[in-house]
Amino acid sequence: MYIAYVTITVVAALLDATAAVTYLAGHSYPRSQLDMKRMSHRWMPILGALLAAGTLGLLAGFAVPSLGIAAATGLVLYFAGALVAHLRVGSRNLTGWAVFFTTAVATLAVQLAHNL
């Protein structure tokens, strides 16, 4: 179980860190996603900061398990909100969302199984 816990947590942290960097750097892909969802570009640093906080929380969870659980829960909620934003505008391109959401749910599951 420990290997799954570490592997899934590190993979999720890498995915979320990559997404955070693209949002914080102002990359064109997050801009196009915000445009498609009819959201202001002012959300980019906020969304990037949330992803970065989730990433740091997952990594801190190796030392303080409750932080890892809280971070994984926050990321599940973040990506649930992303689904709502997609569906609100009728977007059915959910492949990227599914990868991130599934990873967040798997991370939460292994965090709970390993730490409780």
The closest of 98, 112, 3, 4 to 61, measured between CA atoms, is 112
Mean pLDDT of 100-107: 98
116 falls in which pLDDT band (50, 70, 90)? confident
pLDDT in tens, 1-47: 899 999 999 999 999 999 999 999 999 999 999 999 999 999 999 99
Sign of the C-alpha dihedral, residues 8, 115, 48, 86?
Answer: positive
- The predicted model scores a pTM of 0.94
pLDDT in tens, 10-20: 999 999 999 99
Mean pLDDT of 92-104: 95
Mean pLDDT of 72-94: 96
The per-residue pLDDT of the chain, averaged, comes to: 96
Three-state SS for the chain is CHHHHHHHHHHHHHHHHHHHHHHHHCCHHHHHHHHHCCCCCCHHHHHHHHHHHHHHHHHHCCCCHHHHHHHHHHHHHHHHHHHHHHHHCCCCCCHHHHHHHHHHHHHHHHHHHHHC
